[in-house]
Structure 1
């Protein structure tokens, strides 16, 4: 029976572990507190991923990382996590699959293809890029097998995501949607379940190693369009949508999470679309329909 180790039990880690388990594979989910989804084929383990992974990954076909430190601690704490993952993969022979995002590209022109060079201009972009470079260097040196999956903005219940902060609750409550973005620019949205499908697919594919893969995108709707569509699906009035003013944005940065997000605002001030055509062609993946995703979000509210 195939055995996988999934690090992290947030929405993506949970969805990935459940998908693998429901397909008949055995999964060990590693978190600091031993939390995670309940399933007969899932073992929940409390451990420090920076130092204890190698023993836990013995016999695993793949080591799938869905974890990151707190958003405001990325520069200080990510290197130790990355080193722990690399060490575990090298010692055990498990293929290392890293979940990342589009931060590493920097403010490149849209559409973003998965073969673009990484040219980050932000602290968080540099952290993401370094994780990929370290993994790829180890892969090319023959020390391990490495691949990376890159989604866009998350859509999904429980996701720490812009939709769940600025759009969904406001639409459900009949309130104005105020978003720090170009409201009419095309923007890619990724369903959490499709992230899990992509992670599972690359983990099982012999041709996935040594490169990066974009997840299927469930929509490229603008902020204004997706807010309107969600209102229709949820049976709520069509929302008033406006761009956050500079003063409002400055005030919002009093919130620690918003303060940490400020450097990534360029992703929302222009078109930001991920090209996932290679994923469709080579892995045969397609996105979950947007309306299905929005119904799930509406039902969970």
Structure 2
């Protein structure tokens, strides 16, 4: 049994790939409801409790951790949730594949690779660093088999709450202006969520992936402005691009908690933010290659248009 924690965009991308491979899938969320294919089991699970996590993971051979507490409530809650999940996975002797991000590295000069130290100066970055280190410790102690797949800001079907989500593609498909954070002319790696999901499944299938961190593959890195231009092209509209700095985020943060939380992460958009996925490509390039950027943008635009009908 393949168990996916979370029914958000990454969990759905993992589900899609597992179903393509003919696997039996269970998805876990807090409501027990999700719009998924009928042959996917969806169960309600309290991942903040040891008992809830034990029940949710019963019968699992592989667990894909794609869940997270609300973005503005990570401190404390993320660690508590991961403690319950890892205890349950170890009890059921299931391997754990973690969907992670790049916050733990902090501000980096040059491309980010898996060998970098954790030097996060942000609250959320420190949480991610603690979670990742705890997972690797559990693996090294022989308590739990773990692999960590990391992606950058993702976009694609169902990824409406990401930096390049609904507030970006919603206006864009209507031909309206979009606002890019920070300096839009700096290089910024983005990860197509469908590729992220596929990569986590690849990691789960290879024993030598365990105990390691892997940056999942992505198409060529371009600037945020170029990404927006290509997205407008995919939507059939002329580019209309504005910018949004710290001041606008502070104003937005008065009403939207997620906007307030983005202020400490704004450095990612003010300087080059480039993820190196050479390690994954060299090991698994024969198994998986990333979706070309223009193709991924066409698929994303098409999905958003289905949401407006």
Q: TM-score range by the shorter chain?
A: over 0.9
Q: What's the counterpart of residue 198 of structure 2?
A: 197
1:175-190 alignment, distance < 5 Å: 175-190=176-191
1:75-154 alignment, distance < 5 Å: 75-154=75-154
d(CA) in 2 for partners of 1:104 and 1:41? 37
d(CA) in 2 for partners of 1:39 and 1:22? 12
- The reply on whether 1:32 has 2:33 as its aligned counterpart is no
State the secondary structure of the residue aligned to 2:60. Answer: coil
State the secondary structure of the residue aligned to 1:60. Answer: coil
1:152-191 alignment, distance < 5 Å: 152-159=152-159, 160-191=161-192
d(CA) in 2 for partners of 1:248 and 1:211? 39
CA contact (8 A) 1:104 1:118 kept: yes
d(CA) in 1 for partners of 2:239 and 2:80? 46
d(CA) in 1 for partners of 2:169 and 2:122? 28
* Stretch moving more, 46-55 or 145-154: 46-55
d(CA) in 2 for partners of 1:247 and 1:118? 28
TM-score between the two structures when normalised by the length of structure 2: 0.91
TM-score between the two structures when normalised by the length of structure 1: 0.94
> Aligned pair count?
298
Q: What's the counterpart of residue 47 of structure 2?
A: 49
Q: What's the counterpart of residue 21 of structure 2?
A: 23
- Does the C-alpha gap of structure 1 residues 92 and 229 become closer, same or farther in structure 2, counting only changes over 3 Å? same
CA contact (8 A) 1:185 1:270 kept: yes
Q: What's the counterpart of residue 290 of structure 1?
A: 293
d(CA) in 2 for partners of 1:27 and 1:130? 29
Residues 116-159 of structure 1, C-alpha deviations (whole Å, 9 max, x = no match): 11111111001111111111111111111111111001111221
- The reply on whether 1:242 has 2:245 as its aligned counterpart is no
CA contact (8 A) 1:149 1:213 kept: yes
d(CA) in 1 for partners of 2:247 and 2:99? 34
Residues 149-192 of structure 1, C-alpha deviations (whole Å, 9 max, x = no match): 11001111221211225532333333333222111111111111
d(CA) in 2 for partners of 1:263 and 1:90? 34
Q: CA RMSD in A?
A: 1.6
d(CA) in 1 for partners of 2:58 and 2:252? 45
Residues 28-62 of structure 1, C-alpha deviations (whole Å, 9 max, x = no match): 11111112353354211111123222244343221
Q: What's the counterpart of residue 265 of structure 1?
A: 266
Q: What's the counterpart of residue 208 of structure 1?
A: 209
* Stretch moving more, 17-26 or 160-169: 160-169
Runs of 4+ in 1 over 6 A off after TM superposition: none
* Stretch moving more, 135-144 or 166-175: 166-175
- Does the C-alpha gap of structure 1 residues 282 and 37 become closer, same or farther in structure 2, counting only changes over 3 Å? farther
